[in-house]
Structure 1
Amino acid sequence: MLSTPGIGSGLDVNGIVSQLMSVERRPLLALDTKEARQQTQLTAFGTLKGALSSFQSSLASLTSPEKFSANSAALSDTSLASVSANSSATTGSYDVEIQSLAQSQKLKSGNFASSSSTLGSGTLTIQFGTYNGGTFTLNPEKAAQAITVSPTDSSLAGIRDAINKADAGISASIINDGSGDRLVIASKDTGLSNALKITVTDDDGNNTDNLGLSQLAYDASASGVSNLTETVAAGNAEMVIDGISISKASNTITDAIEGVTFNLLKDEIGTTATLNITRNTAGIEKAVSNFVNSFNELNQTITDLSKYNAETKQASILTGDFTVRALQNQLRNALSEPLKTAGGGLSILAEIGVSFQEDGSLKLDASKLSNVINDTSKDISTLFASVGKPSDSLVSFVSATSDTAGGNYQLDISQLATQGAATGSIPAALTINAGVNDTLDFTINGTSASIILAAGTYNADSLAAEIQSKINGESVFETNNISVNVTQSAGTLTITSDQYGSSSSIEITGGNGELDLFGTAVETAGLDVAGTINGASATGSGQTLTGTGDSEGLALQITGGSTGSRGAIDFAHGFAAKLDQVINKMLDGKLIDNRIEGINAKIDDINDQRESLIRRLDDVEKRIRAQFSALDTMIASMTQTSTFLQQQLSRLPTIDSN
């Protein structure tokens, strides 16, 4: 066997085989060309999906009604306050005077040699309320807080750290005034109703003397003991708006003018500033302009992938592709079909100056848009977002889903939502004695806990405030976002859950104070709202009623009013919402994915063909080489025979020609 092809024959076997195989490999090159085209199409559809996803992301802000109904606020003297307005604010002009800023109360201790000086240990109980005429009225919205001071924390610095770590609504710091260190305690919240009352359970057994931990006792009421000194009095923010005096506990005021938030910066009695509330036209114009630009970017991507150049007769990778045409048609149909039940006085984009051009892009007429924005009878938000417009002011649109059909829905209420409550059967005892009638056990909205009331003599209002404060301050209830409101009528107490619906309940389950304070209480569980939307029974949860059938997913909040017919709700998915749904189906459905799967299947098939062809080519090359090897061997043999014969002939006797 010859080890080197051609050695026996002198032929360039490798070169001949290589040229023959290059002809045999032409189908392989054709497969490579096919795969390259499929890969290009795959990249194109990936680019298309990315463009759709980017456009969908740009729609997110447009699906919110607030984006198109925002207002702006401007105060003529910005050094007095910063002001903002939301969509519920009414446009107009107001005269504003800021007479004083809200302050938090601050208290100081006596002088100590250093921050390591020892005061004492025990418990500090912090209550918040109002001092007036020598009496302290508890703030029922602020729960009492207990701070434990251990013997290891009994120094001035240790007590400061224990207070700050407890996060009990107060802060502590140490200030050196030149003669020694003082502990300064401040209420974290401003306002008259957040003044401090600090009672002490002192480990030395005396809770009111000026020794031990009781040095931090503070009660500025007529009969109270104050071992701390007030340095800054609690105070409300005082302002005058259009001649109306307003007093608020905080320098951030959200309920003086509906929809307007003030952040007061300084007071200046006698100085009047002008507040102007106007429509945020620039924000709306920008939102619509961004929508047009985002759509045009998507349209340009689709055009680049599918256009045909008639001059160069050059097609793009997706020219004539059915999937791309279907996608374009769906997008254009979603933008062209009028909204029949939007409820905002607008039904097509052309009404706000947005129209299609010949190349499929959108064009914005800014002048036409501006006119619509300034027309108070028109609501652009309904043209873009999914919005329901109730005719009843005590019915509000909450949300809808993609399954909610557009339409005009009639609302009928058969039952209003109520809150769980417990009402005493007797006037409450007004004297609370420790260990006698100071505990109450509750199960509120399914969660159970107990409270301990502070011993003392109350009036009916202050007792109601004490119970509310202790319930709302109980950690188990706080953790579960449970709160109550406690009121009294002729001395009889009522506890009402802040939650509406069938999961709302107040149960007084025990405690040594149950009979003295409530007798045999009447407990009433809350009810869910009930009714129909367009004659179909709806599902109630608290104050929220959610539709079924055509109104599937339409959620409405009914905050009051009466039973019976409650008017209509005009609902429609705006264009941004419709496009979002269409693109969701494109990205999550099969329109593009089927094409990608088909392309991948073709690529897999090409790879299978390539592998099969490579195997066949290997066999062909082996056969050709075997044939040339045989030829090489045969020629070598013949050459060898020829050489032998020549040698033999040369040895024959020479014939004398003579």
Structure 2
Amino acid sequence: MDVNGIVKQLMTLESRPLSALDSKEAIQQTKLTAFGSLKGMISSFQNNLVALANPAKYAAITANFADTTLASVSATSAAVTGSHSVEIQTLAQSQKLKSANFATTSTTIGSGTITIQFGTYNNGTFTLNPDKAAQSITISPSNSSLAGIRDTINAANAGVTASIVNDGTGNRLVIASEDTGLSNALKITTADADASNTDNAGLSQLAYDASSGGASNLTETVAAGNATLVIDGISINKASNKITDAIEGVTLDLLKTNLGSTTTLNLSRDTASIQGAVSSFVKSYNDLNKTITDLSKYDAATKQASILTGDSTLRSIQTKMRSAISDPLTTAGGGLSLLSEVGVSFQKDGTLSLDTTKLSAVLSDSTKDVSTLFASIGKTSDSLVSFVSAEPDTANDKYSLNISQIATQGTAIGSTAAALTIGAGVNDTLNLTIDGVEASVKIAAGTYTTTSLVAEIQSRINGESAISSAGIKVTLSESAGKLTITSDQYGSASTVSITGGNGKLDLFGAPVETSGKDVAGTINGITATGSGQTLTGAADSSGLVLKITGGGIGARGDIDFAHGFAAKLNNLLGEMLDGRLIDSRIDGINSSIKDIDAQRETLNQRLVDTEKRIRAQFTALDTTLASMTQTSNFLQQQLSRLPTIS
């Protein structure tokens, strides 16, 4: 018997359930792919909503010069639309100094220490720039050549650059201030190894002090200068060609002058980016809607259903999104409550369309605020209270604000008038802790006025590496000769402590040190959390963050807060992606696939057992048939030998 052939045919029949399981798994895998595709499209749509949900999008201002060769310009939301006439008279420039001629770049100049200070020369007096610290650079004997000094200065990152220029008769060292402006002119003093710090020999050949009685062995080639311009007839004088505070919210980068003529600076609302974002929103929604339609449609002509036709999860997603887009906002506060009011509306096929003419008209209407229709916006009634941010679950509402404490800065106030004579090793050091950062500063010896002493100490503190690297700054002031150090930071983390140094007593006596305080108050009558100048709500105002920059204590008006459509949809999609709506279906499909795998494994084991049984049965039958055939052949042989019966 052909046992193998018979068993193979029988097992083909027995294996039919495996094919059914393969078909079921293929369907589940297709569904898994479909939900993965759906999840990706939802995520893509959510990413597209980010631009629309950002309040800054609707406050953007475009700025441009009629003559673009004069300056580049940019604007923030703080700028006010309008036009300005601008005349650029001079550009700011940095001071440059040159040395005498030297035969070669390897000519030895001298060793010692170079100290560079920044400030303003006026009527023979040098006034220190309080925002820039003096920088000391050590010139070792091994680096005392012209080239060595150049390289040492550049490596020190001291706010100046050095180069060597060969003018045809010799090599000159050129030292230039990195920053432009009158207040960044250079004063260079030396501690020369030859013990003579002002003669024209050794390292003192690089000394420069243009004040009355000062020693200047370098020659000025380019004078420090401010940028001067006239805006709307008002004269402006700035230390830098990058001007950020002439027109609120506008940054000008001056490129060249137009002395004697004017150009126009135009500031207008950036409606093009808003239109682009809304158009992108409509397209992104339609792309998602097409994915949902393709996954769930039924073709009546071919009587073919899609993989997710009739799926309840798909219907739920589509219904929730359409409802979120269609339902009007109740607390928008900008004169708009429906997307159809800005030209976004549903078509018969379930897609969205955009009427750009209608959107443009609304954007041009000063009585309408499109930002409240899309973004999460808080409108404050107090100009010193600003909305910072909110969480997705912050409730739409009108919140009342009451302030019980305004944020303050940490200070240290001297108890006696400061000594104006500073002696080296006598009263020239201060040990401080600013906002938790410890530092020690050394004040240059000399006799000061109160103003120059304030500038010297402030520049030394702000220039100390531990302070500057931590992003900390202080401001010094004086009243009746008493000095005050104030941290630039607000809140309880803002502290100024004078911990020691031989100059503490002479400069501050027994200073009164006061830590800063965080803003404190309530939102809707519930205590909020203060940190510096920011106040974060709790309970019904949870997630609402406000910044209080001044004003008094007590009632400070209301904050109208609402989530717009983009923010509302973003929250909804976040719940779909982060919750169990889609993931539960994906988990269920994966579970079904695992169950099919388990069934397949069980069936395969049963088929193995079945094949063993069938094969054993047919093998036994084949053996029996072989035995019977042998017996039959024997009998036939024996019968053939019997005598023939006649």
TM-score range for the pair, normalised by the shorter chain length:
over 0.9
Moved more, 148-157 or 216-225: 148-157
Q: Counterpart of 1:345 in structure 2: which amino acid?
A: G
In structure 2, C-alpha distance between the alignment counterparts of 1:359 and 1:207, rounded to whole Å: 88
Structure 1 residue 368: deviation in Å?
A: 1.1
Structure 1 residue 484: deviation in Å?
A: 0.5
- Of 213, 218, 231 in structure 2, the residue corresponding to residue 223 of structure 1 is 213
Tell me the equivalent position of 1:214: 204
In structure 2, C-alpha distance between the alignment counterparts of 1:340 and 1:139, rounded to whole Å: 55
User: For the aligned residues, what is the CA RMSD?
Assistant: 1.4
In structure 2, C-alpha distance between the alignment counterparts of 1:50 and 1:400, rounded to whole Å: 26
In structure 1, C-alpha distance between the alignment counterparts of 2:525 and 2:40, rounded to whole Å: 43
The 3-state SS of whatever aligns with 2:79 is coil
Structure 1 residue 81: deviation in Å?
A: 1.0
Q: Percent identity?
A: 70
The 3-state SS of whatever aligns with 2:198 is coil
1:263-290 Cα deviation digits (max 9, x unpaired):
1110121121111111112111111111
1:332-352 Cα deviation digits (max 9, x unpaired):
232233333333332221221
Moved more, 227-236 or 210-219: 210-219
In structure 2, C-alpha distance between the alignment counterparts of 1:227 and 1:343, rounded to whole Å: 69
Q: Determine if the alignment matches structure 1 residue 483 to structure 2 residue 473.
A: yes
Q: Determine if the alignment matches structure 1 residue 101 to structure 2 residue 81.
A: no
Tell me the equivalent position of 1:9: none
Gaps of 5+ in 2: none
Tell me the equivalent position of 1:592: 582
- Of 314, 317, 320 in structure 2, the residue corresponding to residue 327 of structure 1 is 317
In structure 1, C-alpha distance between the alignment counterparts of 2:337 and 2:143, rounded to whole Å: 69
In structure 2, C-alpha distance between the alignment counterparts of 1:174 and 1:452, rounded to whole Å: 32
Paired residues for 1:158-177 under 5 Å: 158-177=148-167
Q: How many matched pairs?
A: 646
Structure 1 residue 519: deviation in Å?
A: 1.8
Displaced runs of 4 or more, over 6 A: none
Tell me the equivalent position of 1:354: 344
Paired residues for 1:568-583 under 5 Å: 568-583=558-573
Tell me the equivalent position of 2:106: 116
- Of 330, 355, 358 in structure 2, the residue corresponding to residue 340 of structure 1 is 330
The 3-state SS of whatever aligns with 1:635 is helix
Tell me the equivalent position of 1:188: 178
Q: Determine if the alignment matches structure 1 residue 423 to structure 2 residue 387.
A: no
In structure 2, C-alpha distance between the alignment counterparts of 1:26 and 1:337, rounded to whole Å: 53
The 3-state SS of whatever aligns with 1:174 is strand
Moved more, 238-247 or 213-222: 213-222
Q: Determine if the alignment matches structure 1 residue 89 to structure 2 residue 79.
A: yes
Structure 1 residue 637: deviation in Å?
A: 1.2
Paired residues for 1:3-22 under 5 Å: 6=1, 12-22=2-12
Tell me the equivalent position of 1:448: 438
The 3-state SS of whatever aligns with 1:591 is coil
Tell me the equivalent position of 2:542: 552
Moved more, 371-380 or 327-336: 327-336
Structure 1 residue 545: deviation in Å?
A: 0.8
Q: Determine if the alignment matches structure 1 residue 533 to structure 2 residue 523.
A: yes
Q: So what's the TM-score if we normalise by structure 2?
A: 0.98
In structure 1, C-alpha distance between the alignment counterparts of 2:367 and 2:447, rounded to whole Å: 59
Q: Determine if the alignment matches structure 1 residue 603 to structure 2 residue 589.
A: no
Q: Do 1:343 and 1:388's aligned partners in 2 also have CA atoms closer than 8 Å?
A: no
Tell me the equivalent position of 2:21: 31
Q: Counterpart of 1:472 in structure 2: which amino acid?
A: N
Moved more, 13-22 or 419-428: 13-22
Tell me the equivalent position of 2:389: 399
- Of 24, 28, 34 in structure 2, the residue corresponding to residue 44 of structure 1 is 34
- Of 124, 133, 137 in structure 1, the residue corresponding to residue 127 of structure 2 is 137
- Of 252, 256, 272 in structure 1, the residue corresponding to residue 246 of structure 2 is 256
Distance 1:34 1:102, change over 3 A: same
In structure 1, C-alpha distance between the alignment counterparts of 2:121 and 2:247, rounded to whole Å: 28
Q: So what's the TM-score if we normalise by structure 1?
A: 0.96
Tell me the equivalent position of 2:257: 267
In structure 2, C-alpha distance between the alignment counterparts of 1:403 and 1:137, rounded to whole Å: 55
Structure 1 residue 182: deviation in Å?
A: 1.2
Q: Determine if the alignment matches structure 1 residue 153 to structure 2 residue 143.
A: yes
Q: Counterpart of 1:25 in structure 2: which amino acid?
A: S
Q: Counterpart of 1:82 in structure 2: which amino acid?
A: S
Paired residues for 1:257-296 under 5 Å: 257-296=247-286
In structure 1, C-alpha distance between the alignment counterparts of 2:332 and 2:444, rounded to whole Å: 57
Q: Determine if the alignment matches structure 1 residue 492 to structure 2 residue 468.
A: no
The 3-state SS of whatever aligns with 1:628 is helix
The 3-state SS of whatever aligns with 2:204 is helix
